[in-house]
Amino acid sequence: MRVVFAGTPEFARVALSGLAQAGFMIPLVLTQPDRPAGRGMKLQAPPVKQLAQELQIACAQPRSLRLDGKFPDDAAAARSALIDAAPDVIVVAAYGLILPDWVLTLPRLGCLNIHASLLPRWRGAAPIHRAIEAGDAQTGITIMQMDAGLDTGAMLLKAAETIRADDTTGTLHDRLAPLGGRLIVEALELAACGGLTPTPQPADGVTYAAKIDKREAAIDWRADAAAIERRLRAFDPAPGASGLLQGEAIKCWHGVAEPGQGRPGELLAVGENGIEVACGRGSLRLTELQRPGGKRLPAREFLQGRSLAAGMAFETLLD
C-alpha cells in the first residue's frame, strides 16, 4: 500500500514514525512550511519534515492546496507531486491545511484522519486542550474517513484514553500520539483486506474544540477555582495561563483548588507551600510559577527575593 502522509507537529511525527516502522511505502510527505521559532526567530523545520528527511522521504511544503486560492503555484506543484506519488491512501494528522475535494478524492481509499478525541465530541483544532479544560473523564483517538466537513466524516476505529486528574495537554498528548500511531497502522492493515466498517457520526454529542486564542491565557480570577485549575493544565505547555502581579505578567503553571474565600485575585496566604489566590468560588493555591524571561519554578523558589504578602492581589489581564 502506498501511503502519502500529511502532518506537521510532534503528534503527527509520532504517527509517521509508526507507519514507517510498520513497513508501509511512503513516497511523499506533506507538511507546513518552515516557521521562525525560538529566541532568535530562525526558520525551523516542523517535526514531520525533520523525520521525513531522516527517512529520506520526499517532502512538499505548500502554503495552500487550493488551486484557486492565494497560492495557486504551490497548490499546482503539490498536485503534481501527489499524482506522481500515486497514493492508495492519504493519512492526515494535525496537518493544519484544509484539504480541497481534489485531494480528498485523489487516492482510491480516500483520506484517513487521526483525530485526538472520541468523535463527535471535540471536533476541531484543539481537542486535547478542550477536553482537559472541560473536565472530561476520558478522551481518545478516532480514525476517520475524511469528507468536506470539519471532522464530520465516518468513524473507522476508536480507542479511549483516561484523562488523569493531573494531566496537562503535554502529558495527555504524549499518550495519545503513540496511540494514534498504533491505531492508524491497524486501520491501514484492515483497509488492505477490506476489513474497515465506516460508522456515521451520531448527531448527538457534537462539540467543537476551537483553536486556542492567546487572549484566553489571561486568568479571570472571578471564575471557579476548579475551572481555573483545569485551564492551567489545559494550557500547559502552551500558551500558559497568566495573571498580572506587581506589574509583571506571571505565568501560573500548576495550582490546587481549595475552599478559601476572598476578593477574586486577592492573595490569601503566601508561603513555601504556595500562593493561595481567591477566586470567584473557592481559592487556588499556586505551586509552580514563572516570571517573564525566567524559568518555571516551585513556589518556594519563586518567592525567594520577592516581598509578597497576604492582602496583595493579582490584577487582570482581561480586556
And the C-alpha cell for 158?
Answer: 476508536
The DSSP call for residue 42 is E
And the C-alpha cell for 89?
Answer: 491512501
Going by DSSP bridges, is the β-strand pair 42-44/123-124 parallel, antiparallel, or unpaired?
Answer: unpaired
Task: Give the Cα separation of 137 and 231 in Å (integer).
Answer: 15
Instruction: Give Cα separations from 139 to 46, 162, 234, 272 (angstroms).
Output: 26, 6, 13, 35
Three-state SS at 268: strand
Query: Given this model, what pLDDT does residue 317 score?
Result: 60
pLDDT in tens, 199-246: 999 999 999 999 999 999 999 999 999 999 999 999 999 999 999 999
pLDDT in tens, 116-173: 999 999 999 999 999 999 999 999 999 999 999 999 999 999 999 999 999 999 999 9
Asked if 185 contacts 16 with a C-beta cutoff of 8 angstroms, the reply is no
Whether 305 has a pLDDT exceeding 90, the answer reads no
* pTM of the full structure: 0.95
Angle, vertex CA 231, rays to CA 226 and CA 236, nearest 5: 135
What's the chain's Rg over C-alpha atoms? 22
Asked if 52 contacts 29 with a C-beta cutoff of 8 angstroms, the reply is yes
pLDDT in tens, 244-265: 999 999 999 999 999 999 999 9
Q: One-letter amino acid identity for 109?
A: L
**Closest of 11, 67, 55 to residue 29, by C-alpha:** 55
pLDDT band at 318 (very low <50, low <70, confident <90, very high): low
